[in-house]
Amino acid sequence: MSTTVYTTMESPFGRMLLSGVRPEGGGAAALAAVTVPGQKYALAEPADAWEFDPEALAEPVAQLTAYFSGERTTFDLPLAPEGTEFRRRIWAALDEVPYGTTVTYGQLAELAGQSPRMVRAVGGAVGANPLLIVRPCHRVLGANGSLTGFAAGVDRKRWLLELESGTLF
């Protein structure tokens, strides 16, 4: 049986909460969620049954720290997000959007093998992404290039895009 573990880390967005699934025998956890203060539809605090285990989530913390400092452009982590098959398909397509680039919701639908007319459903799946930053939902824009929707706020989305474009440092 696996255990849900958590840790926190300081970030440019405040104290982030990371949770993961630690295997029965112990060791590193597969990352299940990354949330920031004020994020819509996300836990701000760990659930009562979760265990505090910074060691099990040390690698995600290290990779996010390197990302925020501009030293890392990809993540290489075991992931364990929960979602419907449709959402997992959209989230997998997010993983294909390269660092420093953006796509529209229609383009993301096509990357996921869906009709570009499914932008509302795709937007819902993007908004439900539990792996903020690691799974780059901030790289998805409105059809006209606008910074639409981001569960952590449009200002944070803009900051992430500026980080990735090299204009932040």
Q: Which residues are catalytic?
A: 137
- In degrees, rounded to 5, the angle at the alpha carbon of residue 49 between the alpha carbons of residues 44 and 55 is 80
**Which residue type, as a one-letter code, is found at position 20?**
G
> What are the C-alpha distances in Å from 106 to residues 33, 102, 119, 121?
25, 12, 6, 10
Closest CA to 105 of 77, 71, 139, 67: 139
Q: Which stretches does DSSP call E strand in 23-153? A: 30-35, 51-52, 103-104, 140-141
